[in-house]
Structure 1
Amino acid sequence: MTAQNKTVKLAKMGMLVAISVVLVYLVHFPIFPAVAFMEYDPADIPIFIGTFAFGPMAGLLLTVVTAVLQGTTVSAGSGIYGIIMHTLATGSFVLASGFIYRGRKGKKEAALALTVGVLVMTVVMVGANLVITPIFTGWPVSAVKDVMGFIVGFNVVKAGLNAVITFFLYKRISGFLHR
């Protein structure tokens, strides 16, 4: 890859990060009123698209950069806790889906990759919430377990919705990303 191609790829990745930050700023709302602090946002869609276009390691880089930027600007209220949780959630999704999709890039592989991403993210976030949430919130593990149904539901809905949107958008956008 030439220096110019690397620069173009980096610029496109930067654009995806910027879109992600803008999306979380503009669109965020609770899925379950009982746990209103768990808000849906479409910010992972550009990261998922970038993962499919540039591979799982690029997706992980997009995740970390986006998590830090969001966690220090538009989502600053969640601080380092939000950065860690976003990195774990989206990072697990992009690694799982990205490694599946990078081989053969058909619709079946995309659907499989996105489905596995949703499942992996959900499982990772169950564990992360049991370990990390008590540290940052002071909640006892029993309190986290009491809302585990919401945690699972939130991750399935958020990741699932973002995966479906990515499925329908990626091929329309991929031409631009690969030029």
Structure 2
Amino acid sequence: MSEKSARIKKLVLLAMFTAIAAVLITLVHFPLFPSAAFLQYDPADVPILIAAFAFGPVAGLIVTVLASFIQAFFLGGDGIYGFLMHVIATGILVMVASTIYRKFHTRPGAVVGLVLGTIAMGVGMMIANHFITPFYMGVPTEMVDAMLVTVILPFNLLKAGINSAITFLVYKAVSRYIIHGEGHVRGSEKAAGEI
């Protein structure tokens, strides 16, 4: 496959992953904790993680931003607040997991990347909620801080953990389709389906 064809295929695939993520976050969402129904689980991080594992951290971050923007401003999302929080949460997970997987392109590398990405997302969202949520939601910082360890941290760990597990289980099969008909998807790297 020529370089031009490979670039076109990559752009098409990234657009597809963006669309899938935007649809999933819009159509499939439900609370994990009844006491905090405003925190909604969605599987949108799965296609974003797949894109990042296949094409690298930057591609994953681009898909994150585009999917978050579409959902926040065109599909009934929470506007700038929802956009910002989704980009931070998913961005942390995707960047950490895919950076480690890119360096250690093996099943253990994928596991370590996904686990560390999950932990980083949990910690990162505690920090983000402390600083951002009171400003946008108009609630006291103390009220948000009281939920950081008991609600926000476990929610984000559970959400990221579920999506990471799904990604790990489906990535190899999906990556075979992604690279079908070409020997590589990222410069001189070997095919992406090594999980």
Q: How does 1:42-61 map to 2 (within 5 A)?
A: 42-61=43-62
Q: Deviation of residue 3 (structure 1)?
A: 2.1
Contact 1:121 1:155 in 2 (8 A): yes
Give 5+ residue unaligned stretches, structure 1. none
Q: Deviation of residue 171 (structure 1)?
A: 0.4
Distance 2:126 2:76 in 1: 22
Q: Is residue 171 of structure 1 aligned with residue 179 of structure 2? A: no
Q: Deviation of residue 75 (structure 1)?
A: 3.9
2:121 partner letter: M
What's the % identity of the aligned pairs?
42
Q: Is residue 98 of structure 1 aligned with residue 68 of structure 2? A: no
Larger radius of gyration: 2
Specify which structure has the higher proportion of helix. 1
Q: Is residue 70 of structure 1 aligned with residue 51 of structure 2? A: no
TM-score if structure 1 supplies the norm length?
Answer: 0.96
The alignment's C-alpha RMSD in Å is 1.1
Find runs of 4+ consecutive structure 1 residues off by over 2 angstroms: 73-76
TM-score if structure 2 supplies the norm length?
Answer: 0.88
Give 5+ residue unaligned stretches, structure 2. 181-195
Q: Deviation of residue 73 (structure 1)?
A: 2.5
2:137 partner letter: T
Q: Deviation of residue 147 (structure 1)?
A: 1.4
Contact 1:24 1:74 in 2 (8 A): no
Q: Deviation of residue 26 (structure 1)?
A: 2.2
Q: Deviation of residue 22 (structure 1)?
A: 1.6
What number of residue pairs does the alignment pair up?
Answer: 178
Distance 1:154 1:121 in 2: 10
